[in-house]
Amino acid sequence: MLLFAKTFGCCRFVWNKMLEKKLQAYKKKERITRIIPAKYKEEFPFLKEVDGLALCNVQLQVEKAFRDHFRNRKQFKLPKFKKKKDKQSYTTNNTHDSIRVDFEKSLLYLPKLREGVKVELHRRFDGKIKSVTVSRTNDGKYFASILVETANPRNKVAEPKSRACGIDLGLEHFVTVTDDFGSYKVEHPKYLRRGEERLWRLQRSFSRKQKGSKNSEKARLRLARQHTYISNARNDFLHKLSKAIIDENQVVVVEDINVKGLLKTRLAKSVADSGWSKFLTYLKYKAEWYGRTFIQVNRFFPSSKLCHRCGYKNDDLALHDRTWCCPACSETHDRDVNASINLYYVGLGRPEVKPVERALVDDRSPHGLPKKPSRVEAGSSTEKC
């Protein structure tokens, strides 16, 4: 652990030194020159005690941060100085078999760490190790992420049970899904809301401790562990749900949601607790892994306002209206179920279905919807449409 602490500190030190030089040149509108870590080793000999490749990767990270900023200033801000209290990490590369994993003894060998370090391996792997990123979270846990070059990176692909599914995201229920077997709703776990009271007590306890004291550090760790628990629980739920949906469906259709805009409204805490952006990211990359089709419909597609039976568009539908009755065919709709059915029709790939450009018409009634709902391993409640 001492070596990791030294490497984190040296990488942070080199990052801040390089960033300071580059920001000075940037403010003076001078040419930003390339700085190499070897320049600092003469002035600061303690840098020679850690892995040199880790320091070289810091240089690459600084240069990439500036390239990203100049390429897209709105999305990428200027890089900032790193602090000791933030999450710490470093990346090193495998040269001459300097990085090895002993699966039998559960040991990870790294540069400058010849005796190896005991690890809990997530799984076995075959292939050539390219690099390792060692990180320490705010709650004091260490992780090693190993990049491996392998011939077949995909997992086993299951045969899909349903042709397509439409997914409507919400705050009352996390998702409403319609597939070949019907419609069902997945309850919203609300991990942040459920842990809010405990977070409040831990935060109050931490704020009352004297800064810099041992009790203050203990209180900070308790608070950080609670935040980590909530984050891990949410990620576990999102991974399981997205994997189940991808396994069961050949085509997955969702709406493009303006999450950044919603985070500026009074619903910001509920939207942040949902993790919609992360959920859509998981769906997208897992669809690529398992050979599924992922479709994001334009956010202006009126999925909730269109009657899925007759195609009538209810322009007067407000956000607080959870159910509505179609004046054309007298069909009563659950807002979320109706939206997921309309997205499901888009996923079927019917030639006449064109999101945004035209509404659904009579010949798209759901005669083919079976009655039995599918089962998703993340706890869900079912509802027939």
Report, in this order, helix, strand and coil percent for the chain, each rounded to 5: 40, 20, 40
207 within domain boundaries:
no
In terms of domains, do 17 and 51 share one? yes
Closest listed residue to residue 81, CA positions, set 8, 23, 5: 23
CA atoms within 13 A on the CB side of 212: 0
Looking at the fold, whether 52 and 113 belong to one and the same domain comes out as: yes
Which of 180, 248, 273, 336 does the annotation list as catalytic?
A: 336
**Quick one: pLDDT at residue 369?**
38
115, part of any domain: yes
Q: Is 197 part of a structural domain of the chain?
A: no
Q: Is 64 a member of any domain?
A: yes
Q: 267 and 139, same structural domain? A: no
126 is catalytic: no
Of 51, 168, 248, 273, catalytic: 168
255 tagged catalytic: yes
pTM listed for this prediction? 0.78
Bridge partner residues of 323 (DSSP)? 334
pLDDT confidence of residue 284: 93
The residue segments making up the domain with residue 349 are 162-189+242-382
Band of residue 177 on the pLDDT scale cut at 50, 70, 90: very high
Residue 358 — very low, low, confident or very high, per pLDDT cuts 50/70/90? very low
Are 174 and 105 contained in the same domain?
A: no
The pairs formed by 298-301 with CB atoms below 8 angstroms and a separation of 24 or more are 298/256, 298/355, 298/356, 299/255, 299/256, 299/257, 299/258, 300/356, 301/255, 301/355, 301/356
Tell me, yes or no, whether 268 and 352 share the same domain. yes
Q: Are residues 177 and 77 both part of a single domain?
A: no
> Treating both helix axes as pointing N-terminal to C-terminal, what angle do 276-289 and 214-248 enclose, rounded to 10 degrees?
50
Domain ends where: 89, 120, 149? 149
Do 290 and 251 have their domain in common? yes
What are the tens digits of pLDDT across the range 246-301? 999 999 999 888 888 888 888 888 888 899 999 999 999 999 888 888 998 888 88
Taking residue 97's Cβ as centre, other Cβ atoms within 10 Å add up to 9
Provide the residue count of the chain.
385
CA distance 61 to 178: 44
Q: Is 321 a catalytic residue?
A: no
Choose the final residue of a domain: 89, 118, 149: 149
Query: Residue 318: inside a domain, yes or no?
Result: yes
Q: Reduced to 3 states, what is the DSSP secondary structure of residue 175?
A: strand
- Shared-domain flag, residues 36 and 136: yes
Same domain, yes or no: 312 and 361? yes
Residue 307 and residue 369 in one domain: yes
Q: Is residue 219 part of a domain?
A: no
254 and 336 co-located in one domain: yes
State whether 121 and 174 are in the same domain: no
Q: How confident is the model at residue 153 (pLDDT cuts 50, 70, 90)?
A: low
pLDDT, mean over the chain: 84
Q: How confident is the model at residue 46 (pLDDT cuts 50, 70, 90)?
A: very high
- Considering the domain boundaries, does residue 201 fall inside one? no
Catalytic residue among 179, 180, 255, 273: 255
DSSP 254: E
- For residue 236, being part of any structural domain is answered with no
What is the rounded CA–CA span in Å between residue 108 and residue 299?
A: 47
Q: How far apart are the C-alpha atoms of 178 and 336, rounded to whole Å?
A: 10
Question: What are the structure tokens assigned to 332, written together?
Answer: 């009563």
Q: What total of structural domains would you count in the chain? A: 2
